[in-house]
């Protein structure tokens, strides 16, 4: 009887110690708005960190992108926000105070962002000389063409120094609606100006570097001419038509791998291109003569909530998920390219057929989209960009210059009001 009691006591003691060990673990909540397909990559990265840090539990919180920001901001207001947030807040969002200033952590640990990440990736992390995030990726959008479509049409392949006018002439020879051969993918009306390398290579600029001045940029002769060129491509039917996007989806990678698109855009999900049986070749965006092309470099970021109760551990986790080990995991999955030059070099991406093109782009200074500079761009300015297309294409208004100047003035007034309210 006593032996049974002793065994029971030992069992209770072991359970008690196990419970204490579990309760001693620190939980870091890591939020992201990405597709279910990408959650496997997040989980592999979290598992790799927890294997190195058994006293830490990484809880992944996947929130649908549609309501992601609203839910994050609501959780911040309720003081229950995730410790680490995956997103791309505008740089001046740092002024609101809910993003932890990471600069002291860099300084304490002797870390140099210039050595750790590509220029575009670290530029997204910085605001007024302070770091408020670390990068998840470094994405350089490039064009890609379907060799078979060119061969069947008897059209020579484009060269790296091609111009928008040359691209337009090529598409005129290739597009064949009767045989379901379409032209340029990735063109999405007004959005082409703000998050597409083609807008930059046409000479379009929507705001000044601070994101607060629209007039003089959106309504400049260069930007108006760029808008007209894109509108004309659409009017001629040289871009992928809406009915085809409705069937396949608007993702540039999904459109291109159908084999029915002559010129596409390589963005995220590069594995789709490699898994495709198509013969394809990447190429830089065509640049208008006389234009100094800007490199469009995008980078989703990881932020620490300033209200986190475990900031040192959250910082350690941030260093890991933006570092080379997590970078190799992401590269193997093919969902996003890591922001670490050392990972690209070790994988041989600097000489690989696609990544070598992007590697060259990655060495240049970034051209950040305006919505990554000003927090009010999406809400205040973007509707006026859409209005330009609606007024020109659907309402048939002319001339374009008058439309753009009116919308630029309205956008400027709305932007000024937004900043005054703050």
**pLDDT (tens digit per residue) in 75-122:** 999 999 999 999 999 999 999 999 999 999 999 999 999 999 999 899
Rounded to whole angstroms, the Cα distance separating 161 from 158 reads 8
For residue 335, CA distances in Å to 29, 70, 271, 365 come to 22, 25, 7, 24
Tell me: pLDDT of 320 over 80: yes
Integer Cα distance of 28 and 31 in angstroms = 10
pLDDT for 141: 86
User: Which of 47-51, 132-136, 248-252, 336-340 shows the lowest per-residue confidence on average (mean pLDDT)?
Assistant: 248-252
Q: What is the pLDDT of residue 388?
A: 97
Question: Is the predicted pLDDT of residue 161 greater than 50, yes or no?
Answer: yes
Find the range with the poorest average confidence among 15-19, 144-148, 195-199, 348-352. 15-19
Q: Between residues 369 and 22, which one has the greater pLDDT? A: 369
DSSP strand E in 120-214: where? 126-127, 130-131, 134-135, 139-140, 142-146, 182-184
Query: Phi and psi for 388 in degrees, rounded to 5?
Result: -60, -45
Each residue of 304-317: pLDDT tens digit? 999 999 999 999 99
Q: Give the range among 42-51, 231-240, 267-276, 369-378 with minimum mean pLDDT.
A: 267-276
Q: Looking at the DSSP assignment, which residues form a beta bridge with residue 301?
A: 87, 135
Q: How far is CA 51 from CA 44, 48, 294, in A?
A: 10, 5, 42
> What average pLDDT does the segment 351-361 reach?
93
Confidence at residue 318, expressed as pLDDT on a 0 to 100 scale: 98
Q: What is the mean pLDDT of the chain?
A: 92
Contact criterion met (CB below 8 Å) for 322 and 118: no
What is this structure's pTM?
A: 0.90
Provide the percentage of residues in the chain whose pLDDT is more than 90: 80
Q: How many CB atoms lie within 10 A of CB 324?
A: 17
Angle at 33 between CA 126 and CA 375, to 5 degrees: 40
Where residue 23 falls among pLDDT bands split at 50, 70, 90? low
pLDDT digits (tens, 9 = 90+) for 243-279: 999 999 888 889 999 999 999 988 877 888 999 999 9
Residue range 314-338: mean pLDDT, rounded: 96
| pLDDT above 50 for 14 | no
- Residues 6 or more apart from 25 whose CB is under 8 A from it? 55, 56, 57
With beta carbons less than 8 A apart as the criterion, state whether 328 and 343 touch: yes
Q: pLDDT at residue 11 above 50? A: no
- Mean predicted confidence (pLDDT) in 132-139: 96
**8 pLDDT tier (thresholds 50, 70, 90):** very low
Is the pLDDT reported for residue 16 higher than 50?
Answer: no
Check pLDDT > 70 for residue 391: yes
pLDDT tens digits, residue range 35-50?
999 999 999 999 999 9
Q: What is the pLDDT of residue 338?
A: 96
Mean pLDDT of 134-156: 96
Does residue 21 carry a pLDDT above 50?
no
- Give the angle subtended at the CA of 247 by the CAs of 245 and 251, to the nearest 5°: 45
């Amino acid at each position: 009887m006593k032996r049974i009691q002793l065994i029971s006591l030992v069992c209770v003691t072991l359970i008690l110690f196990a419970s204490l060990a579990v309760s001693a673990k620190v939980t870091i909540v890591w939020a992201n708005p990405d597709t279910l397909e990408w959650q496997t990559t997040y989980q592999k990265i979290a598992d790799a960190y927890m294997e190195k840090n058994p006293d830490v539990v990484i809880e992944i919180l996947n929130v649908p992108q549609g309501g992601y920001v609203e839910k994050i901001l609501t959780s911040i207001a309720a003081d229950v926000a995730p410790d680490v947030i995956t997103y791309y807040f505008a740089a001046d969002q740092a002024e609101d105070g809910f993003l932890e200033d990471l600069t002291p952590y860099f300084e304490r640990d002797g870390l140099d962002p210039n050595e750790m990440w590509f220029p575009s990736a670290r530029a997204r992390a910085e605001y007024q000389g302070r770091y408020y995030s670390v990068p998840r990726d470094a994405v350089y959008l490039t064009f890609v063409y379907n060799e078979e479509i060119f061969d069947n049409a008897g059209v020579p392949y484009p060269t790296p120094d091609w111009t928008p006018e040359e691209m337009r002439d090529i598409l005129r020879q290739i597009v064949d609606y009767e045989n379901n051969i379409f032209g340029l993918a990735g063109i999405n009306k007004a959005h082409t100006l703000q998050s597409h390398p083609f807008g930059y290579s046409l000479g379009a600029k929507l705001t000044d570097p601070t994101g607060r001045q629209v007039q003089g940029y959106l309504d400049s002769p260069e930007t108006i001419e760029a808008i007209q060129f894109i509108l004309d491509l659409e009017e001629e039917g040289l871009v992928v038509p809406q009915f085809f996007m409705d069937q396949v989806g608007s993702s540039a990678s999904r459109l291109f791998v159908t084999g029915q698109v002559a010129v596409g855009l390589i963005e995220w999900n590069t594995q789709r291109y490699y898994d495709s049986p198509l013969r394809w070749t990447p190429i830089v965006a065509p640049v208008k003569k006389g234009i100094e092309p800007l490199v469009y470099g995008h980078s989703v970021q990881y932020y620490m909530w300033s209200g986190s109760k475990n900031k040192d551990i959250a910082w350690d986790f941030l260093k890991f998920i933006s570092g080379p080990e997590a970078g190799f995991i992401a590269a193997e999955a093919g969902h996003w390219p890591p922001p670490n030059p050392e990972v690209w070099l070790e994988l041989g991406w600097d000489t690989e057929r696609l990544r070598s093109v992007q590697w060259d782009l990655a060495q240049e200074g970034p051209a950040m989209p305006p919505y990554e500079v000003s927090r009010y761009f999406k809400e205040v300015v973007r509707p006026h960009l859409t209005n330009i297309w609606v007024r020109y294409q659907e309402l048939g208004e002319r001339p374009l210059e008058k439309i753009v100047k009116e919308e630029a003035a309205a956008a400027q007034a709305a932007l000024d009001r937004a900043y005054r309210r703050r």
